[in-house]
Amino acid sequence: MSIMKECSSDPGPARSTLNITPFEIRYLKYSWEKASSTMDIGCELVARLLNDNRTRFRALIESHSGDLLGSANFAAEDVKKFRRARSVAHGVVMFFNQVISELDEPNSADFIAVISQRLGASHFRMKVWFQAENWLCVKNCLLDTIMAALQVKKTTSFACGKTISMSDKKAREVWYKVIQFVIQNMKRGFLAEALSADNTSTSSSSSE
């Protein structure tokens, strides 16, 4: 199946743990709330993806919606004008709301891995073909969007009466760990679904 050749290589064994500390979890929860209240994270992410020619995201949206997006650069407000792009933006926010809400729950890494793999599999079933460059661009654009929303180099909040502060560099590292974990498992789910479809197609051809 051609999609298997176009996808990146096997991402390796699934990560069973997400190595973040209780302090980092508190920061992630706070910073996601702050970022979400500061900026429309979903629409900003979709705008960045649409403006990055490496992602082929504009062509994907057009092929799945029938909308003609043209070649002009998109702002977050522009995304809201297109139903499919707006739906993707909303889905991103809802997914990460769930991820962040689960971080301090028992077996959170397993749960996040499962829902990420299911999301990756659904992308294959919807024929949203992702290649190696797509995964990298989505990861980088999402990280950049969140960091842009946080805006300041040092973020301070209060949780349980204690001050939490984190440098921009450290904040980026912590968010990278979460986003990398999600994308890695989305990728695994996508490739597993592609392999399953390929095996089904091969079996059907053999039985004819």
Q: How far is CA 149 from CA 39, 45, 57, in A?
A: 6, 11, 22
Residue 83 has pLDDT above 60, yes or no: yes
CA dist., res. 152 & res. 5, Å (int): 42
Residue ranges of domains in the chain: 22-152+165-196
Report pLDDT for 7. Answer: 44
Q: How many other CB atoms sit within 10 Å of the CB of residue 72?
A: 9
Report pLDDT for 6. Answer: 40
Query: Tokens 């079933």 belong to which residue?
Result: 125
> In terms of CATH, what superfamily is 22-152+165-196?
Globins (1.10.490.10)
Average pLDDT over residues 26-38: 93
Tell me the three state secondary structure of residue 159: strand
CA dist., res. 168 & res. 102, Å (int): 24
CA dist., res. 27 & res. 64, Å (int): 37
Per-residue pLDDT of 91-145, as tens digits, reads 999 999 999 999 999 899 999 999 999 999 998 888 777 777 788 889 999 999 9
Q: Rounded to two decimals, what is the model's pTM?
A: 0.80
